[in-house]
Structure 1
Amino acid sequence: MMLLLPGFSAQAANGEDVKIDEKWLLGRVEWLWLPALEESVKARIDSGAKTSSLSATEIEEFEREGEPWIRFNFHHERHSARLKVPLSRYVKIRQANSKKADRRPVVVLPVQVGGLVKEVEFTLKDRTRMLYPVLLGREFMSDDVLIDPSRRFVQPRFEPVEQ
């Protein structure tokens, strides 16, 4: 039985986006459509992380028309691709379990969760040993997302229309 909350607009079981009071409702894990991969991958929703992170190996910086770019491998389970994207910047990330800060490249990629479409800043880090290749942090959530950590896959999985 599902509790109907004020402002509740739809149920994912009906294939519709789930919103409460105009905010997108997400579970602790959601399907994330990455147009760069033309694939949906599982993403962990983590309000404890400030920035979002994307699994990347063999990261190389290069120049294209005088601008810095990054190429890297994305590989997790059945998803695999070599991506080339503009480099946004570098950040220093300090893990809670370490005193040493990692310097990581940041890229901006469009993503979609259910009907929520955003441009997201991702730090690149090898997440191949982790359960989820993508972590979505607080900056992704901004002011338009609510999280129900007791649920998974609240939003419907994006399915592209064949042309």
Structure 2
Amino acid sequence: MKTFDHLSVIGLREWVALPDLGVAGLRAKIDTGASTSSLHATDVETFERDGQPWVRFTAHLGTVVQLRHRRCEAPLVTRKTIKSSNGHAQVRYVIRTALALGDRVWEVEFTLACRKAMRYRLLLGSKALIHGQLVVNPGLKYVQDKPAFPATLSPVTGAA
């Protein structure tokens, strides 16, 4: 069996923070079957700042019982057509922002989607796992410590 020392192990569920958006204490579901990560957002609207496209949205955090929300703004990276597991296609806005998980911080692309019916407000897809140099042990949950906030940790080497 091969082992890789430079990879960190995470479980199927982990605590994360989005420091550039001012969000901490967010439970994430790890989904290796999803390419792109997704964040639960509503009231999404585009606008321009200094001639560049931006998006403003309400990020919904916490759980159904302890619902929290925060108004956020981020540069708009692109719009992307995402096909769900049931074959339904949807055009979503894509942002890139810092993600803190354990002692690592790196840039991750998130689609903004309504995840109201989902248990977890943030889904971490395979591209984020690759850039964060992470492997998933599906038998574990909450392996990493909650990230420090604000995140003042070193970025992952080679992250994009």
Do they fold alike, i.e. is TM over 0.5?
Answer: yes
- Code of the aligned partner of 2:111: T
**1:34-73 Cα distance to aligned partner (Å, 9 max, x none):** 1112412000011000000011001001111111110000
The answer as to 2:149 corresponding to 1:160 is yes
Pick aligned residue for 1:74 from 48, 59, 63: 59
Q: Secondary structure at the match of 2:128?
A: helix
Q: Number of residue pairs matched?
A: 144
- Find the counterpart in structure 2 of residue 85 from structure 1: 74
Deviating runs (4+, > 4 A) in structure 1? none
- The answer as to whether partners of 1:34 and 1:40 remain within 8 angstroms in 2 is no
**1:84-130 Cα distance to aligned partner (Å, 9 max, x none):** 111000110111213x4211000001011001211000000011221
Query: Which one has a bigger Cα radius of gyration?
Result: 1
The answer as to 2:43 corresponding to 1:58 is yes
- Find the counterpart in structure 1 of residue 6 from structure 2: 22
Q: Name the % identity.
A: 36
1:1-150 alignment to 2 at 5 Å?
Answer: 21-35=5-19, 36-77=21-62, 78-98=67-87, 100-142=88-130, 144-150=133-139
Structure 1: tracts of 5 or more residues without a match: 1-5, 8-19
- The answer as to whether partners of 2:41 and 2:113 remain within 8 angstroms in 1 is yes
- The answer as to whether partners of 2:97 and 2:108 remain within 8 angstroms in 1 is yes
Q: Distance in 2 between matches of 1:159 and 1:106?
A: 25
Structure 2: tracts of 5 or more residues without a match: 151-160
